[in-house]
Amino acid sequence: MPFEKVKQVAPKVSELVMQSILKAIDSGTIEPGGDLLPERDLAIELGVGRGSLRECLAILEFMGIIESRSNRKVVVKTADSIRKAIAFVRLSEQEDVGSAFGEFRRFLETATAHLACERGTAEDFRALRACVDRMEDDLTDPDADREFHAVLARASHNDLFVSLLDLADTRLLTLRLRFFSLPGNPEKALACNRAICQAVVARDKRAAKREMELYLRLIESFAAAEKTGGALV
- pLDDT score of 98 more than 70: no
| 9 confidence band (pLDDT: 50, 70, 90) | very low
| 202 confidence band (pLDDT: 50, 70, 90) | very high
| 109 confidence band (pLDDT: 50, 70, 90) | very high
**Cβ–Cβ < 8 Å for 139, 189:** no
Q: Which helix (H) or strand (E) holds 74?
A: strand 72-75
| 2 confidence band (pLDDT: 50, 70, 90) | low
- pLDDT score of 97 more than 50: no
> Tens digits of per-residue pLDDT, 44-63?
887 878 877 777 777 677 66
- pLDDT score of 103 more than 90: no
- pLDDT score of 79 more than 80: no
Q: What is the percent of the chain with per-residue pLDDT over 70, rounded to a whole number?
A: 81
> Tens digits of per-residue pLDDT, 21-33?
777 777 878 777 8
Distance between CA atoms of residues 179 and 99, nearest Å: 19
How far CA 11 is from CA of 45, 86, 128, in Å, comes to 18, 10, 36
This prediction has a pTM of 0.62
> Tens digits of per-residue pLDDT, 115-136?
999 999 999 999 999 999 999 9
Q: What is the end-to-end Cα distance of the chain in Å, rounded?
A: 46
